[in-house]
């Protein structure tokens, strides 16, 4: 299964969090390098699909 993840334009980390928004637009912060801004890159990644009821140890 594929999904999209926001990545930092400075360091490429996917450790990006949504900081603020509403009327002023979107603002994100990279927890790895400290980048703050409205521009982030979106990358498509492959994720493992979990079957409900199954637990992996």
pLDDT of 37 reads 92
Give the pLDDT score at 50: 66
- Evaluate the CA torsion angle 36, 38, 43, 52 in order and state its sign: positive
Written as tens digits, the pLDDT of the chain (57 aa) is 888 899 999 999 999 998 877 776 889 999 999 999 999 999 988 888 766 666 555
pLDDT for position 41: 94
Domain boundaries, the chain: 2-46
Total length of the chain: 57
């Amino acid at each position: 299964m594929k999904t999209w993840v926001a990545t930092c334009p400075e360091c490429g980390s996917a450790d990006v969090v949504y900081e603020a928004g509403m009327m002023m637009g979107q603002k994100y912060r990279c927890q790895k390098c400290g980048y703050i801004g409205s521009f982030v890159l979106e990358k498509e990644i492959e994720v493992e699909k979990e079957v409900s009821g199954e637990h992996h140890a």
